[in-house]
Chains A and B, each alone.
Chain A
Amino acid sequence: MRYPLFLFVFVFVIPPFAVHALLTGKAVIDSKPVASTTLSATPEHTHHWRVAAVR
């Protein structure tokens, strides 16, 4: 396995998808990122990673 093979995934699959998701609101930047300590202390995040639905 040589690395250039993975260029396809990391250059031509993931970035366009990521940009597309950002532009269509499938990804958002939370204005107040949750600090790691806060995250683990929040009951909502204590048991799992699912956070409030954005769409």
Chain B
Amino acid sequence: MSSSSSPAAEASGTHQYWSVDSAPAKLTQPLSIWAAPAVLALFTGVSVLLLLMVNVVPEFASVFPNRDIVFSPYSGTHSVPLRIFIVSFYIAFAVVVGAGALKRAKFLGELIVTYALLCGAFDLINILAYRSLGLLYSLDVVEILSGLIGFFVFSLKLLDHGSMPARVTVPERRLARRAGWFPLLVALAGAIGTSVAVDSLDLPLISDLRNVALLGGTGPGVFLFLPALFFILYVWGTVQALLRPPGHFAPPVTVIVPAHNEAHVIARTLAAIDGAAEKYDGTVRVIVLNNNSTDDTVAVAERSLATLAHATGRVLDVPTPGKAVALNRGVDEIETEFMIRIDADTQVLPDAIARAMRHFSAPATGVVGGVPLPPGTGPFDRSRLLEVLLKHGYYQVAYGAIDGIVGVPGMFAAYRTEAVRQAGGFVQGMNGEDTDVSLRIGEMGYRIVGDPGVQYVSEVPATYHHLREQRMRWFRSVYHVSARNRSYLDDWRPSLRGKVILPFMLLNSARRAMTVPLVIFGAMHLGLSLDPTTPLTGQAVLAVLLGAPALMGVIAALANGHVKAVLYLPEYVLFRLVRAYLTLESVLSIAFDSEQRPAR
């Protein structure tokens, strides 16, 4: 099922994309298109005031000689005063977010107090380390750490104060835990070693990078850390796949296709499944789950199913609106040991089913996902190609190396049916039911596989309104999934997904929400020329814009054999900025009712 913006906006002839899953009731609130601009305007005002205070007002300037809210001794200078940035964003966000004055004040108070405590503790440790050992950190390193802490605190407090699905009991572990921590620690050490080695090379290029570019003087070492980490894990994951090729395995499988107003595309989707069934040695049964459609979905699907040559199928009516409702009804009907869910706007490539099912020859495999390729005809398709190559063709393989894959997109996902049932099926009434079920299956001990060779073509929004609806839904899902499965994050079990991957995703989500403000802040800091000791603000802003993911995008494109996709990098950089703005809108659309709502 696809969903979208104002239905009226789609009256131009294309199908409607808006559904009940676009904005789960009680967890989201209507969002004015002016909310995000209001945050940006307010943020600009607050940050100018704070910058002027620490730079111009003598009383404050003497207390904060580092021109940021920093209390301990550091060497050097910073590119951007990130603590002022974080506090300014907290204030602007809390003022605009849709909640009562008291709730907003409480939210802001907790944000600032938590951030101040963490930064204060960090400063105190540094003061003690300086006085006892003479240990002195460079200010730009401390600023980057302060930024990361600020991102993390924002997401945690949003989880606490926003309307989120209630915490539920997580399913029991059923298979022995695999050692994901060891390869992670080895990769961390390798990434540190690689970036330090590059940083210490005595080459003119490295010297230039260190002094004038990329993260404003922190040098290629810091810049290379994350790319090196993911590259090591990607190589590790690829080698694992090569050393342990899955054997031939073709059991009977049932494909469920939830469909809400998909008459325009369902015939193509079913024909593609038939094409994949031809290349699959096992039997393929299809169940189209008609979910409250008001168009000709049923008639078109029945006609198409009748023409299938290699698969059999039927249409099942599920009148209650909701994709998860339809999926669960489909799971109830499944009699095979394995199942695949495919979105109605997704066409699998001919060898997708055969290739995905091979992985279930290993008894521990619970979920298999692939790479959703864009059709290539829309305005966002080129950027989307780089995005999926990076996320699904590269990061997923890297996460797979440490058995840390969290989400397999519902566009195409193959499951061990029993694992889905043990995980409680697909959750209703929140965003991210696909991530939720794969996370729970993974935490039960099953292996989640991301195979870049399993490919399918999935619809990409053709309009900004549709893109906005889709991304707001997707970006909220990390909060919904984390809130519902919070036990993985905050109990004491050594869950790699719960203690490292999900927190990293939360931190990254907040980082994305603050990217546009950060660009504004950097430009303003540069324009105001308040601090002559920080000549590298422009480079820092550029580094935020381009960032390590741009470098990794190139690696991902080349690693997946899409050499031409490298040419789409400039578009992708701009797309990332749009995506960042939509993340800000997404977090603003989270409701602020303190009562937690049980997701069913």
Contacts and interface: CB of A to CB of B under 8 A. Distances in A.
Nearest to A51: B73
Contacts of B131: 33-36, 39
A52 B219 CA distance: 19
10 contacts: A5-B490, A8-B500, A12-B504, A13-B148, A16-B192, A18-B137, A24-B196, A29-B134, A32-B134, A52-B75
B136 A49 contact: no
Interface of B: 62, 64-66, 70-77, 118, 122, 130-138, 140-141, 144-145, 148-149, 152, 156, 160, 188, 192, 195-196, 199-200, 218-219, 221-222, 225, 489-492, 499-500, 503-504, 507
B65 A27 contact: no
B137 A5 contact: no
A31 B133 CA distance: 8
A26 B490 contact: no
B149 A9 contact: yes
Contacts of B218: 26
A26 B160 CA distance: 35
Interface in A36-55: 36, 39, 45, 47-55
A30 B136 contact: yes
A23 B192 contact: yes
A10 B328 CA distance: 40
Contacts of A36: 131
Given A17-B145, A34-B131, A54 B138 contact: yes
Q: How would you classify the secondary structure of chain B's contact residues: helix, strand, loop or mixed? A: helix
Nearest to A19: B192
Contacts of B74: 49-51
Contact of A33 (B62, B133, B188, B499): B133
A15 to B, nearest CB: 10
A27 B491 contact: no
A2 B493 CA distance: 13
A48 B65 contact: yes
A5 to B, nearest CB: 5
A5 B156 contact: yes
B490 A21 contact: no
A48 B503 contact: no
Contact of A8 (B118, B492, B503): B503
Contacts of A1: 156, 160, 490
Nearest to B501: A8
B478 to A, nearest CB: 14
A27 B499 contact: no
